[in-house]
Structure 1
Amino acid sequence: MTEPDVAGLAPALADNAQAVWASIMERADTETAAALQQALAATDLARECGRALACSRFVAEQARRNPATFSALLNSGDLAHSLTAKQYAQRLAEALDEPTADPMAVLRRFRNREMLRIVWRDFCRSADTRETIADTSALADTCIAAAQSLAMAQLQARHGIPRGRSDGAEQNLVVLAMGKLGAAELNVSSDIDLIFAFPEAGETDHPDKPLSNEEFFTRLGRAIIKLLDQPTADGFVFRVDMRLRPYGESGALVHNFTALEEYYQDQGRDWERYAMIKARPVTGGEANGQTLMSALRPFVYRRYVDFGVIESLRSMKQMIQTEVRRKGLQDNVKLGSGGIRDVEFIAQCLQLIRGGRDTALQRRELLPVLDECERLGSLPPGVAKVLRDAYLFLRDSEHAIQGFDDRQSQTLPGDELPRLAMATLMGCDSWDDYLSVLESHRERVAQHFSELIAEPGADAPEDAEELLPWDASLDAAMLAKAGYRQSEDTLARLDTLRESRKLLSLQSEGRERLHAFMPRFLKACLDSEDPDRTLARLLPLVTAVVRRSAYLALLLENPRALQQLVLLGSASPWIATQLERSPVLLDELLDSASLYSAPDREALENELQQQVLRLPIDDLEAQMDALRYFKASHVLRVAASELGGQLPLMQVSDKLTFLAEVILGQVIAIAWADLVAKYGEPDRQGDGYGFAIFGYGKLGGIELGHGSDLDLVFVQDSASQGVTSGPRQIDNVMFYTRLGQRIIHILETRMMLGQLYEVDMRLRPSGASGMLVTTCEGFRSYQSDSAWTWEHQALVRARFVAGDATVAARVDEVRRDVLCRERDLEALRHEVLAMRSRMREHLLPARCKAGDLFHLKQGEGGIVDIEFMVQYAVLAWAYQVPELVRWSDNVRLLETLAQKSLFDPADCELLTEAYLAYRSASHQLALQQIEGVVPANEFVPQREAVRRCWDTLLCHGIAGGNDDKELNGETHEPG
């Protein structure tokens, strides 16, 4: 009996191939079995079959599942050549033309057959790397075009042909392929990055059921994604990733050409220029594609050598390096140091910088770009070949990993069988031999990557002064002579570290790094104002990382980072604690320019989008981890900027508030994707979430501080009787309730980097006993008919922070109507005074009531008194001055009260100065990990001014609680 030829394969691989073949033959009928044996006997396929079955579970599983299809492929002659897009299209069209054809099944079976052929040819080296990626890309192009054609026909039958507003011309969807597919360099198990666009606004020509072009093409886009991406019993066609579109996950699914051009010209970021280098139209007609690309080209390529982009590229490069360190990606042939991404980055950087002038660089394929860069002198002689050889080796490695299991991974295998398979495919005698060749390539790539747009200047030279020893000879006298003032205590701390179990169990490499690090650390602490205190604050960090010596290496190799560590640790125990809890933040100390430059909201959105873009949206743990690092790193930057004097108080709160808003936007996107994958989309109007988050308190007032929690209210606006669109249907109420629960889970779950935020939902309608997510109508009804005065006070500081802007507009209308209602001023005054008295009774610490200490927030004449006066003023006079409801922050409300002569302008100025002084002190105390309490002899003028204004406005003297209203069973301040 003819069998696969396993000669030359390792025993484990040979046994695997023979076992798979036996299983195939058992499942095959008599005719198919004979055909399989005939194929191997009559051709040169026996050796290839042994290699393919041994080295690819995907090939083996496809052959096992359908022996007849496998036999037909072996006998077809298709394993001898690749296919063009035209050949693919013809074959797929024939399969779809079958009368009983199910498009979902046909597309998946077609993809599986052709991907088996592609992997077979790649693994048997019948095709080289470039032929494999071109073949795979042509397959993807064909499947996208077929999915679009199928979906288009169905939509046109229901709604007619979409036509342009200007001339009535028929419109078509242009699918832009991005990334590797855009460059026709797709790997054998990759997702496909797409952007959808259509020429112009208009509507379909159906007489009864017309749709706007935007709605038509949005539905078309969703249908295409479903046809390609949705898993069935036959698997999937291609995983579709739409996050490179404008505004990412939160943006519209489709854009017309004008909107797309305006977005990139007005708001496009440098990383989007970087991504757009590889954009390629794959559907929609040649003329439409050329029109769109002509409009976008000026965004990608400037007319000159673009040195202005270098700083942005440097930031991208640093982000790549930080990610490799933080996530331990050295086993990843794409993302690890010296991997595929590094080669791509080198080429695309040079394209962005020089592509405007040197038009030969304006191409998508990587290898020709490398050659052109060397010809232009942008790369030294010989470097293009080094990078080309490494790139092809790494791409072959990537295919060996992915083709083994048809799984989107670039991580080196850990098990013996896939390692044997990979070494065999890569022409190596053993796994160790393969690793040796791999490391050689990656070292060369990493060297050229590190030299690309390197940071200007070098780290500070090593100080030649004698360093203190880090051994038993170190004594208190040495420390005192060096400059430590509490040398005995400091020595005791160092001895505790030296004798700790962590240190005693260190491996030799870690011990050597610690011995190199500690003398430099001891010397660095001497540069601080109080060396002993600084060392005491930072020694717990050293203890925390002593077993993760890569962090010690980072500080040893970057003396400036060590200087920044000492500077920040000396200035703030809070920062020292954050670094101890999250040593990964030490990466942030490498670039002092970014460390002391907290970005604005747009830059925050840009950076977060870059960080999460390559993470699968359904990988909840990875998304949550990325968000926590993002938050921790930016909170550190804000704190450093505040301590360094670069940020005044108002901007500190702005930065922390914007950070929270950007994170909340991404959290909604993650939670939404998770639920939609399970249940489908809820019945709602428009393309938005139908869900909005409103911030109250400090978040609503744009006054977040370090460690602030988030007071949130969730509102949804959809038909309560509606249900979701997926196979596992649930009603809208349940969907949005679970959306709210998932958002809270993502925010509050404690992970290695802690939690994102503590969430307080007690300000929602009916408090803790109310629905987690209220409807717009429910919100209106409660605020109009049931809410207490203190809840209207809280509404003064309510503000839309994330989600659907359409829902937000409806809630804002309710807020405006409620706050602008005319009130009985005497009753209002009584209720505000009573609530303030009750709050002071419950929330002011007992030790602050004796008069020796002043509580910045709850004390008489403090922050809350100012907030209550402002809230009273809004509720009292907004019906006459609607402009008062425009703002939610106290400073601008005080400005408005002064401008409208509702408060004495001089008093408003005094109240504003006091408010900012109190908050500034609170921030500084928080960074010193001290409660917001000061001696009573501080802030005396400010307190007196606040008390005087309080008496003038609210007629001091009413006391006592409000027994008619329990705050939902809990004490919670409205401000």
Structure 2
Amino acid sequence: MPVTGDEGGAVSAVPRIQTTAGRLARLGFVDGARAERLLGELGPETAGDLGLLDSLVATADPDLALTSLTRLAERDPGVLGALRADPGLRARLLRVLGVSAALGEHVVRHPEHRRLLEGERAADRPSGGELRAGLLLSVGAGPDEAEPRAAGSGTEVLSALRVAYRGRLLHLAARDLAGEMTLAEVTAELSALAGAALEAGLAVARSQHPECDGVRLAVIGMGKCGARELNYISDVDVIFVAEPGEGMDETQAVRLATRLAQGMMRACSTATPEGSLWEVDAALRPEGKAGPLVRTLASHRAYYRRWAKTWEFQALLKARPVAGDPELGGRYADTVDELVWQAVGREGFVEDVQAMRRRVEAHVRAEEAGRQIKLGPGGLRDIEFAVQLLQLVHGRADPLLRRRATLSALAALSRGGYVGREDARALAEAYTFLRQIEHLLQLHRLRRTHVVPESEADLRRLGRALGMSADPVGEFTTRWKRHANQARRLHEKLFYRPLLAAVARLPESEVRLSATAAQARLEALGYADPAGALRHIGALTSGVSRRAAIQRTLLPVMLGWFADAPDPDAGLLGFRQISDRLGTTPWYLRLLRDETAVAERLARLLGTGRYVTGLLLHAPEAVAMLGSDSQLDPRPARALLAEARATVGRYPGDAETGVVAARALRRRELLRTAVADLTGHLDVEQVGQALSALNDVTVQAALDAAIGKIEMERRTPLGTRFAVIAMGRLGGLECSYGSDADVMFVHAPLPGTAEKEAAGAAHAVANELRRLLALPAPDPPLLVDAGLRPEGKAGPLVRTLASYAAYYGRWSAPWESQALLRARFCAGDADLGGEFLALADPLRYPAGGVPDEAVREIRRLKARMEAERLPRGADPALHTKLGRGGLSDVEWVAQLVQLRHAGELPSLRTTRTLEALRAAVAEGLLSAEDEAVLAEAWRLASRIRDAIMLVRGRAADSIPADVRERTLLSRALGYPPEASEDFLDDYRRVTRRARQVVERVFYEN
């Protein structure tokens, strides 16, 4: 900087230099004097360019950024003017120069590449096709050719490829360091860029070996490249697969393809004046380095089926075609995918994977182990091995786990319940942070390294690049060690004990925030109404009471738990309401203080949906059942029935009060089931059984009360036996939270009772039962629907056994036989119920099966139902009951099989859909593959219907069109916040496959 004097005399420059240098040092330059000198070299106008100085100071390493900028200005004097004219360019370019000395060197060598960071195009995200076309053009190859050929294979062509590649790397790094891309987006673009470079390398090889024209060669990306999670500098793992071209035998094809593969590898790894790209590593191929570089698809398939080791199947988990012949690559991927998911059945598979991880860790040098973020304890390999083992173990039965990328697979494991949500989140955060460190380490020199440096300057650069400004070295080290320790702990928990329940305990905190800071934190956590949340927090924590003290301890932690739930605001509101009702209850206070897991579970439930919150508000004492998983087991139906009958019996002569009390019991058990459902303690079949058993008990309790009331009013015994027959979902033990109780009523007059008198009494009981269960009460109603009785609503509500026999013998339609497949004794006289079912059996299980005409009628009825019963405006692809591949489709397939074959095959005589499908497979009437597709669709549709009720507090059959409601629903089903479209895609895929089976099995067979 220029030195000035005053009063006409020279002033010593030393104090002024020291002052300026000190100011620069305080701003963040390590060597203030050197920084002042370099700024002076940039020209006098730079001294007053506060924007430039601010941008330099904001970089991870201002000294490094200034050094590279000075060198660039020497080569490109116009850069300073461009930086002043384009603040975006200034921020992007300096941010890169402050992290990467190597990319700074690249820009100095190729100053024209700074234009990649100018203007609006600097934020553009190139597609894979654009990257491929750009790198192919750099070597003089036409991107639209079927087999692009480079202009040559000399040093000039290879250098051009490296220059183009690093230009793209510069463009990507600028967006990455600006925080404009997620980790997944960065690694996906790096992988696409690597694939484009391989394609360009292959074009170079084709120009070098024209004799190889016609041979088919596919390049399969492995490891991080295959998983679309590549880092900035890494060996690119590949496998080569070849097929003969026309007029070529297999031996010749392999020989020619090997030349192409070797040429491609050289094109990428050869040193030039512009350096090399990276090593192309084919060591993951069959037999490793000892095996042939290239094999045919048949040779690969034979090897993997007979000789492959466990580690090879783990490696194939990430295999993906990345260059060369796409059709051949796709066939390879399909072939190995089938083999990967069968590999877990190999003897000692899990133990082999575990032993492999121990061997990898044992080879880490002792002096680096604590700083190795890839292979060391708590490093990336800990997370990757745990995720991959869980995928391989469970992915054979659960296709939703078949994801290549680590974070995507981890999210799928969490959604499926194989990894706890908190554990998954912690692992994802650790993985993301470690990958960010890895990228920053490699960007500095564009060298392959995974060791965190020890020097303070390097640590400072890393911390500042990650946004840590106050104490970058200390904060970086603390966060890194915390994530590493967390990754190691969870690795040991999941990798060696993958079936243990995941219980994550967040530390309690005594942090007290100002109102302004608290509101900002709530906004950051995702609360839609942070001001309202603050009011709830104030109401819960104000005062000096014991209750307020506990809440002040818990709430800093619980706010995070609410934020992890789908609806944080609703969760906090519900918590306040329940706390207001129970806050002074001694056991509640102890539970909150001593069992943090209860508070965490409560937060998640309240933030998931209205159903559980509504139940808890009317029975807040039920919070006690959240203390252990054993409390969530459904109670035996016999115990529930005894309790319900005892409850009704306490109110003789007061049927209404007795049934209201019995319904309160039902409310408590509905809560138990809902909590077990949302926490993954019960699967969808178990939920249906628990809800159905609870409805049976409730109907029986109401029947007892109704009979008692009618007998008291008539002052005489009922004079007839009475039974309730469950139909529909109740009969199939498949009730959802909003299901009505579909029933039929049957009675049988006792000897000495006139039939008319008995019928009157039976009708009175049936009507009273329905009235009692429909009375207004603070619990969800159980509506009794007798619409499936003979003649429907036009027919008598109750019939005798003989009347049913006469009707079915003369008037029964095929749909009634189909409906009777679900008939099951529910309540009342068990002997009479058994007699009714014996009457129904010949109708629903006809000897010789239903006639062809009846089958055609059932198909016509199904088609008519699809055309007419779907609500107006409903999307058939998203209606879980009547839509394509939904519940109705699956159930009608099962029922048609039963009507045709249950007369001869007793194993088919069940009221349950999935049990009928399993029996059909065992009897050879349905393939196991078709059964798996149908069962998956049925379970998913049932889960969604249940989740809609749990989230919205009211029943519905269609997946919501509203994005916010759909997001809440998808999160209740275990999807992460950004994955509501994944949820829709999964549902459409599953139901589309199911509909294909229905079309073939129901309509064609």
TM-score interval for Structure 1 and Structure 2 normalised by the shorter chain: 0.3 to 0.5
Question: Normalization by structure 1: what TM-score?
Answer: 0.44
Greater Rg by CA = 2
TM-score scaled by length of structure 2: 0.43
